[in-house]
């Protein structure tokens, strides 16, 4: 008897399942798509924010709003800040309905700002009775006069 093994008659060896890239779904495409959507959304948001019209006045001084002005239609006078007094007077001339309208907006913005600030002052005044409340005092005068 021959001790050689006949390979053709031997049972087949069990095969391991093969993993090929052709049968596995690739995540590269969806990741690139989501990244592209994120970039486009970010750029769109940045453009929309920069195109938003900015008001010509502010209740507080910051950035370009550095020129102080006073309301003419209310007592007591409310201080607000503008980018350019000439541009503001040109767009909203004194003694016109447009100026009165914008000053009413300024008064509304001031009252909103003052109420928030007054809440803070009142809380601090409860903790420290010597804490001054100038905004609250002024707010009382503005609401009584209005």
* 119 within a domain of the structure (yes/no): yes
- The predicted pLDDT at position 16 comes to 61
pLDDT in tens, the chain (146 residues): 556 666 666 666 666 655 555 566 788 888 899 999 999 998 888 888 777 677 778 888 888 888 888 877 666 688 888 888 898 989 999 889 998 898 888 888 888 999 999 999 999 999 999 999 999 988 887 665 55
* 70 within a domain of the structure (yes/no): yes
State which residues form the domain around 78. Answer: 57-145
* 135 within a domain of the structure (yes/no): yes
* 93 within a domain of the structure (yes/no): yes
Domain count for the chain, please give it. Answer: 1
* 33 within a domain of the structure (yes/no): no
Strand pairing category for 57-58 and 67-70: unpaired
- The predicted pLDDT at position 10 comes to 60
* 26 within a domain of the structure (yes/no): no
* 52 within a domain of the structure (yes/no): no
- The predicted pLDDT at position 38 comes to 92
Burial class of residue 69 in the structure, from the number of CB atoms within 10 Å of its CB (0-12 exposed, 13-18 middle, 19+ buried): middle
Q: Are 79 and 70 in contact (CB under 8 A)?
A: yes
- The predicted pLDDT at position 128 comes to 93
| Long-range pairs, 122-131, Cβ under 8 A, ≥24 | none
pTM as predicted: 0.57
* 30 within a domain of the structure (yes/no): no
- The predicted pLDDT at position 19 comes to 55
């Amino acid at each position: 008897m021959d001790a050689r093994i006949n390979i053709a008659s031997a049972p087949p060896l069990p095969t391991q399942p093969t993993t090929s890239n052709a049968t596995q779904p690739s995540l590269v495409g969806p990741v690139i798509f989501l990244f592209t959507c994120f970039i486009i959304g970010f750029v769109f948001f940045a453009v929309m924010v920069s195109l938003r019209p900015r008001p010509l006045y502010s209740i507080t001084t910051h950035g370009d709003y550095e020129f102080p002005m006073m309301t003419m239609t209310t007592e007591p006078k409310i201080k607000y800040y503008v980018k350019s007094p000439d541009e503001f007077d040109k767009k909203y001339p004194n003694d016109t309905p447009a100026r009165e309208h914008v000053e009413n907006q300024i008064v509304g913005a001031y009252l909103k700002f003052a109420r928030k600030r007054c809440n803070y002052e009142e809380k601090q005044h409860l903790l420290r009775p010597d804490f001054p409340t100038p905004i609250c005092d002024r707010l009382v005068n503005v609401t009584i006069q209005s």
